[in-house]
Structure 1
């Protein structure tokens, strides 16, 4: 596969190269330089990883996704360039992606078997390792805002379903009719699953979870993730996105991580925390740690990817799927958007 310097194939230790699949990842970001305001920062975002390919995507659809990612990245960059916190930046990015029906989060969330949209989200502050998460909410316009409210205004880390929604009302978050989350494309996908034409795996091989990680001018990191889960999910299934340490983690001593993919495997691997632990205790760089953990997740059978930002400004991606909706930027002028492997 041909690659460019922007998004290179990873180099993994010899022992990991024996695996049947290797992650596809991005090269480390540029060394951080101050922006025009004297701030140093870096940010990475994702909109899901899966089987997206140039052959299967029309030029019009590709342009739509690139524009959506570029817009969300600029939202986060503006927060950081103005001296805002990493926590505010990742919140703003995820809100933007939740409001965009292109992605499986918020407005574009998939349907459960019963025809509901059940939303999960998490956020974590690397300064204190404070965290908030919600699962199975159905009427909160922006689940990431609710996750942040749980972190900042409750003594708990995770709230679910009716209790989470009651907490949202009590704290003045925007409540919407469940019909707000309806999109015809996601509804049709559910009908295909229920008719037996496709399995949930076939439909969701393009994992649409969204996320953002950032480091601000004070050197603090933060991570946020949001998702609608799997098409046709049943029995109150919850994936890795709201699970602190699996799909979301942030620690100023190491890094911030947001994941997307087959959640059951990311939970079993503890992907987000595992990457941070490797950085903290082995002194690997972010790319090496992310590649190694994604290789281990792939060996379990898990597909997907991660975004990682470190306090010193490394901003990297690693994924073992044909594509990943992704973007990154930093105070030194880096501003990139990618979809397919090898870009």
Structure 2
């Protein structure tokens, strides 16, 4: 006869009494890391994008995912992953951030960036800076090594020099494609064309051909959201702004709550699009509010803001987002958005056009 305290004996008593004991189900596994990346939204159609250009952008997005997952898979923080991915995108001339940034009407590259830690709600941002190779790193320095949230222009650059943030000559940021786009835009507006930047050499003959995409209908801002194994989320965004923008113009990317926001209690968001509309709507914070207080899922919240509020106002662009539980989402109201996502134990997704996963 089984011992009175043995499991078989207790089960037998339960069955005799007309009941049944069922072992408690194992606890659900804790969500692992999750990551999403965007490289800008706009008019991106299969019919106008060459196969070579498409393959180049897909490879760049996959490389961005690889940088982030390398950090997260080793137990790194969401904040570290965000900075690592954005730095790589800032160094890639394909995107309008850091190297490859568009030019202002004065023929300068003026850069904006922001980063936010969802666990502490600490944030750092810089705007209108030149000569800093990786604006996202300067934004993080503002967050971690100053009492401020945002610094701009020469003051931010001076702070970067004090903190040994890497500098770069103007020629580092130059790309011929962006320069020709500036000339075209200024000519259309009847504005004077500034002198070609020093150190970049003469214009090539013949000029390099573009990829067939209208430059003024693409938004090359880059951004990353991440959730680490500890359950913390973070967001980062970096941009060169808009082609031929007026002096002193600042878009949504460095504005906490507009283009960038992160809170462990709801989600992390990074946006890309016509910044003036994102600022007016407070797009990033609005998505988080709908998740945290509105009872909506992450996808529902992103769609409500982008497909309804932003569209109704006449703005265009998109967002990527990650919730505190590791759920990922994106939404955009343009024909395409350079985007990618990956989560621990899941197959990564890289997409460009509308209708892709």
Q: Is the pair's TM-score, using the shorter chain for normalization, greater than 0.5?
A: yes
Q: Tell me if 1:331 matches 2:323.
A: no
Q: Relative contact order (alpha carbons < 8 A, sep ≥ 6): 1 or 2 greater?
A: 1
Q: Tell me if 1:224 matches 2:236.
A: yes
Which whole-Å CA distance do the structure 1 matches of 2:261 and 2:352 have between them?
Answer: 24
Give the 5 Å matches for 1:138-217. Answer: 138-196=130-188, 203-217=215-229
Give the 5 Å matches for 1:198-277. Answer: 203-277=215-289
Q: Following TM superposition, where does structure 1 have runs of at least 4 consecutive aligned residues deviating by more than 4 angstroms?
A: none
- CA offsets 1:121-143 (integer angstroms, 9 cap, x no match): 00000001000000011100000
Question: SS state of the match for residue 237, structure 2?
Answer: strand
1:283, CA displacement in angstroms? Answer: 1.8
Give the 5 Å matches for 1:279-298. Answer: 279-294=291-306, 295-298=308-311
Which whole-Å CA distance do the structure 2 matches of 1:96 and 1:180 have between them?
Answer: 14
1:205, CA displacement in angstroms? Answer: 1.1
1:235, CA displacement in angstroms? Answer: 2.5
1:89, CA displacement in angstroms? Answer: 0.5
Which whole-Å CA distance do the structure 2 matches of 1:93 and 1:128 have between them?
Answer: 21
Mark the runs of 5 or more structure 2 residues left unpaired by the alignment: 1-27, 192-213
CA contact (8 A) 1:132 1:151 kept: yes
Could you tell me which of 55, 61, 65 is aligned with 2:53?
Answer: 61
Structure 1 counterpart of 2:41: 49
CA contact (8 A) 1:33 1:332 kept: no
CA contact (8 A) 1:33 1:331 kept: no
Which whole-Å CA distance do the structure 1 matches of 2:150 and 2:265 have between them?
Answer: 23
Which whole-Å CA distance do the structure 2 matches of 1:179 and 1:161 have between them?
Answer: 19
CA contact (8 A) 1:215 1:309 kept: yes
Mark the runs of 5 or more structure 1 residues left unpaired by the alignment: 1-31
Which whole-Å CA distance do the structure 2 matches of 1:226 and 1:108 have between them?
Answer: 12
- CA offsets 1:311-342 (integer angstroms, 9 cap, x no match): 10111110000000000000022301000000
- CA offsets 1:233-273 (integer angstroms, 9 cap, x no match): 00210000000000000000000000000000000000000
1:197, CA displacement in angstroms? Answer: 7.5
CA contact (8 A) 1:305 1:317 kept: yes
Structure 2 counterpart of 1:322: 335
- CA offsets 1:189-230 (integer angstroms, 9 cap, x no match): 00001111899xx63311000000000000000000000000
Assess, with a 3 A threshold, how the Cα gap between structure 1 residues 191 and 214 changes in structure 2: closer, same or farther.
same
Tell me the matched-pair count: 307
1:152, CA displacement in angstroms? Answer: 0.1
User: What TM-score, normalized to structure 2?
Assistant: 0.84
